[in-house]
A and B are shown apart, each in its own frame.
Chain A
Amino acid sequence: MFDRDIWQEIYHSISNNKLRTFLTGFSVGWGIFILVLLLASVKGMQNGFTLQFSDDATNSIFVRTGTTSLAYGGFEAGRRIQMTNDDIEYIKRSFPNDVEYISPRVYQNTSARYKSETGSYNIQAVYPDHQAIEKTIVNKGRFINTNDLMNASKVAVIGRKVEEDLFKNEDAIGKFVEFNGLPFRVIGTFTDDGDDNAERNIYAPTTTYQKMYGQTDHIDQIALTYNPNYDLTEALAFSDRLENVFRRRFKIAPKDQSGIRIFNYAEVFEDISNFTGGLDIAVIIVGLLILLSGIVGIGNIMVFIIKERTKEIGVRKALGAEPWSIIKLVLFESVFITALSGFIGLGIATGLLAAIGPSIKTGAFANPSVSMSMVVTATIILIVAGVLAGLIPAMKAARVKPIVALSDK
């Protein structure tokens, strides 16, 4: 099939029409180049999104309560829903297999002071589990532990920015810092990859704040992570179950959106993957359309070549060339030009991505790259494209009547 004669003819045909072949080949190469870059960009966006959210545990769920907007279960609208420590225990009991880590959050604004430095910060009063939920990186000292919680110790884990602001060049660990006038011992500092604002946070034990402010067991929010083995569907099903249980527990109308809000990261990921999936399809369509113009170009050049070689094809047929051998000749040439120029475009695009892709990391865009499967797909597309481009010209060539060889015009 791939004997020397066919290669010789392809070589001859190409070298006779160098510029024309180059220009058409260029359009196919360019098409593939653009297609690969576009797909890589979508991948880059995907990577960027994942990177942004991977700061928090991606299997986390946040439960917030508010004021009901609908009358339900004998209660009027406008009732304030307040979660307590009991709700944590209740979730643990109700979903022993679903919940991985769980922690309440009690929010408190505080003005902090160390020596002459002061600043205003947010304090989140949490359980030790919170470290795993928020993926807090403790770089000095330690996080809040169970003892702190049981003793309602006045200890705090402060963000890197807080340490910078208040302690300047001093080491904060073991020092006492005043929160609203009450001394807390700094037991650890943390950093956060996500953003600088997170490093302006302060963590303290939940019990400490509950005791300090009115001996309540109120909590503002529940943060939890679910079984990391759950896929998207299972994750969404779990948060649905959780929501139903809470609505029953607090007698909130099923459609009441302001009484309770459950935020599941899985939903965000579902949205993102839907979004990038849609983008992928759009990009593939655009890329294929660009490629199509290249295919038409190759088809065009092949028609031209055949027109030029009509007589030669007639002679070949008179000498006994079967239609198939003529079709083969045209198709091979078309596939060869398409594949070769496509591979060049593919090579340049993947080379470019390999060279500069890893260094790109800005906001929602990181490491644009192509997968092996994409390269294989592109190759198949190219060969199919070559066949398509050659098909009509090849049929045309096969229909050439050998009589044209005899009629000397």
Chain B
Amino acid sequence: MIQIKDLHKSYKMGKNSLHVLKGINFNVEEGELVAIMGSSGSGKSTLLNILGMLDSSDSGEYILDNVPIKDLNETKAARYRNKFLGFVFQSFNLINYKSAAENVALPLYYQKVPRKERQEKALKYLEQVGLKEWAGHLPSELSGGQKQRVAIARALAAEPKVLLADEPTGALDSKTSYEVMDLIQKINDQGNTILIVTHEPDIADMCKRIVHLKDGVIIEDKKIEQVRAEQYV
């Protein structure tokens, strides 16, 4: 699903340039649940930005679902993001004046899906995350865990190839975190490819594979026995 070869990225900081990614190589197969771990400054956020087409690499190859991702202008990047990727953010990033259903329908709006179909799909995905009854509520009326579940439903709604989650449990207490992880695992069980950036070992342990980044290189890449979140819920 994802092939990355010799990815380099450096940022210019005045006269100095900061080499953040120093040759990353890794592949993700369809249906994997990968945790990208590392301390701050390890380059994991930069890697996620490049994977999410929010930033471009200096050199190296990035192939997503057999499509080489390079030379993107803003419009093209937006289309690819919409088509290939679903984002889950640490701070949920729901639009606060839109109801849960409207938030979920937003990526479909950018896919120019007709209004009625958007609403149907939004309800379907809200049901999948167990929040169908909350469809008409504004984000401010939801708890943190519920918000993240709406955000996950939103990420799923566009039916992306890969789900990218940036510290999805970073703003949640541990019980809610496990609930969210349980949801993520179930979505993964259905065959969705998911990448999670986290620095919490217990969250990483709930994935099927851990990629450890340090100082811009992968120092460890191992498949693990998945800890099911269900048992903690």
Contact = CB atoms under 8 A, between A and B. Distances in A.
Interface of A: 3-5, 12, 16, 311-312, 315-325, 398, 401-403, 405-408
A318 B81 contact: yes
Contacts of B107: 319-320
9 contacts: A4-B115, A312-B93, A312-B95, A315-B95, A317-B78, A318-B81, A322-B110, A406-B45, A406-B89
B109 A5 contact: yes
B26 interface: no
Interface in B34-54: 45, 48-49, 52, 54
Given A318-B87, A319-B106, A320-B107, 13 more contacts: A16-B97, A316-B110, A317-B81, A318-B93, A319-B82, A319-B154, A320-B81, A320-B111, A321-B110, A405-B89, A406-B48, A406-B52, A408-B90
Contact of A320 (B45, B83, B93, B95): B83
Contacts, number: 76
Scoring A3, A318, A321 by chain B CB atoms within 10 A of each residue's CB, the highest score goes to A318
A403 B48 CA distance: 10
Interface of B: 45, 48-49, 52, 54-55, 74-75, 78-79, 81-83, 87, 89-91, 93, 95, 97, 106-107, 109-111, 115, 154, 158, 166-167, 170-171
Contact of A402 (B54, B79, B106, B167): B54
A323 B83 CA distance: 16
B1 to A, nearest CB: 19
Contacts of A316: 95, 106, 110
Given A316-B106, A403-B49, A406-B54, A322 B79 contact: yes
A12 B98 CA distance: 9
B110 A320 contact: yes
Contacts of A401: 54
B79 A320 contact: yes
A12 B109 CA distance: 18
Nearest to B53: A402
Given A318-B52, A319-B82, A405 B75 contact: no
A198 B91 CA distance: 87
B75 A406 contact: no
A319 B115 contact: no
Contact of B97 (A3, A12, A319, A320): A12
A215 B78 CA distance: 102
A11 B94 CA distance: 18
Contacts of B48: 406
A317 B53 CA distance: 11
Contact of B78 (A4, A5, A323, A405): A323
Contacts of A398: 74
